[in-house]
Amino acid sequence: MSEILKAVIYGIVEGITEWLPVSSTGHMILLEKFMPMNVSEEFWNMFLVVVQLGAILAVVLMFWERIFPFRLNRQEIVDWSIMELWGKILVACIPAGVVGVVFGDWLDEHLYNYWVVAVMLIAVGLIFILVENMNRGTKPVIRSTGELTWQIAFVIGLFQLVAAVFPGTSRSGATIIGALLIGVSRSVAAEFTFYLAIPVMFGASFLKLLSFGLAFTRQELSILLIGMAVSFAVSVVVIRFLMGYIRKHDFKAFGVYRIILGGLVILYFGVLS
């Protein structure tokens, strides 16, 4: 199969799974098993992270008015409520950021495998169902991002830390679960996890590019740019779908999907392989 066509498929999978709480990294690792790219291991490890930039740019575009704090056409140039939101975002990113920088290579070597992915797919799927059942009939305490306190932002960041350590957890899934447990509404939980992805993914991508260098071959550059472009386009559609979906539904369907997928992974790698 053409490497360019593979890049398109990887971009589609990234765009879908980055925002739905089903683990984008887990899906990409599994996809690589069945449809490996004919590239160097160094490029693949970089691509796995940097392709997410396309998805992140979709968030920046769609939520620009809510996250860009400067208003050149108004009397007050700086919107301090948005600046405060960015402060909370950065506070929430500290735990995962520190662990990623200090232990990133060790985690990649020891935990990025099919068994960890399968176990975390199932475990987090069960937790989603349990949390939604616990919250049934209760009203969320926090209904807007402006109501998020610094302490709550940091606690949500601690949940994001779990996803930084264990592939298959889902960064968005972990943060959404943490937010739901402390009384945040589904829509605010999803929106805040979108925002958290911006510094996390930009930082991770910068470090991976720095490590890889800029000596791309023409094919490698084409693969990366096409993957990013496709993930951007798909992300726009998926984010709109998710924000509409959670206005009327809970996250249990994603929990069921995770459990089924995790079971299939164990069946394939543990029994059929």
Angstrom distance (rounded) from CA 172 to CA 265: 21
Lowest mean pLDDT among 70-79, 133-142, 164-173: 70-79
- Per-residue confidence (pLDDT) for residue 114, from 0 to 100: 84
- Checking if the pLDDT of 89 tops 70, the result is yes
- Checking if the pLDDT of 47 tops 90, the result is yes
- Checking if the pLDDT of 149 tops 80, the result is yes
- Per-residue confidence (pLDDT) for residue 273, from 0 to 100: 67
According to DSSP, the residues that pair with 184 across neighbouring strands are 142
- Sign, CA torsion 179/256/259/29: negative
- 66: phi then psi, degrees, rounded to nearest 5: -90, -15
- Per-residue confidence (pLDDT) for residue 211, from 0 to 100: 86
Counting other chains too, the contacts that 135-143 makes at CB distance below 8 Å and 24 or more residues apart are 135/180, 140/183, 140/184, 140/185, 140/186, 140/188, 141/183, 141/184, 142/182, 142/183, 142/184, 142/185, 142/188, 143/185, 143/188
Q: Please tell me the number of Cα atoms within 13 Å of 160 on its side-chain side.
A: 32
Nearest to 220 by CA among 11, 9, 7: 7
Judge whether 172 and 197 are in contact, CB under 8 Å: yes
pLDDT by residue (tens digit) across 188-226? 999 999 999 999 888 888 888 888 888 889 999 999 999
Average pLDDT of the residues of the chain: 90
Average pLDDT over residues 65-69: 92
Give the single-character DSSP code of 268. I
- Per-residue confidence (pLDDT) for residue 108, from 0 to 100: 77
Average pLDDT over residues 34-58: 91
**This prediction's pTM:** 0.89
pLDDT by residue (tens digit) across 106-148? 887 888 788 899 999 999 999 999 999 999 888 999 999 999 9
Taking each continuous run of H as one helix and of E as one strand, the counts in the chain are: 12, 0
Angstrom distance (rounded) from CA 14 to CA 234: 8
Average pLDDT over residues 90-110: 84
